[in-house]
């Protein structure tokens, strides 16, 4: 399980597991529960690179980031570890 501390969003942390470059599990701490459960369900089983491509750059209310964008950043950090 990999943990990423978010910046600039209502969620404070993202915990996820990747196996063979496929997302196995994603859990957000805090934030909009229903929306984040939906995002987690949609990307489960997705290739890491495809998830980054789909989520990176999504903005929430002009903050310059969002929970999906933070997940893309977390996945990129995981790839570069």
Task: List the domain range (segments joined by +) for residue 66.
Answer: 2-79
Residue position matching structure tokens 């404070």: 12
The pair of structure tokens assigned to 51 is 């998830």
Q: What is the CATH number of the domain that holds 21?
A: 3.30.390
CA dist 42 and 37 (Å) reads 9
In this predicted structure, the answer to whether residue 81 has a pLDDT above a threshold of 90 is: no
User: Nearest 5°: CA angle at 21, between 16 and 26?
Assistant: 20
Report, as an integer, the average pLDDT of 3-27: 97
Which pLDDT belongs to residue 20? 97
Render pLDDT for 29-71 as a digit per residue (tens, 0 to 9): 999 999 999 999 999 999 999 999 999 999 999 999 999 999 9
* Total number of domains constituting the chain: 1
What is the pTM for the complete model shown? 0.95
Strands (E) across the chain are located at: 2-5, 13-19, 22-29
């Amino acid at each position: 399980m990999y943990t990423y501390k978010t910046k600039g969003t209502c969620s404070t942390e993202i915990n996820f597991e990747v196996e063979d470059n496929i997302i196995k599990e994603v859990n957000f701490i805090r934030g909009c529960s229903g929306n984040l459960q939906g995002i987690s369900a949609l990307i489960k089983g997705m290739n890491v690179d495809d998830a980054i491509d789909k989520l990176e750059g999504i903005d929430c209310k002009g903050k310059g980031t969002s929970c999906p964008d933070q997940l893309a950043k977390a996945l990129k950090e995981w790839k570069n570890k």
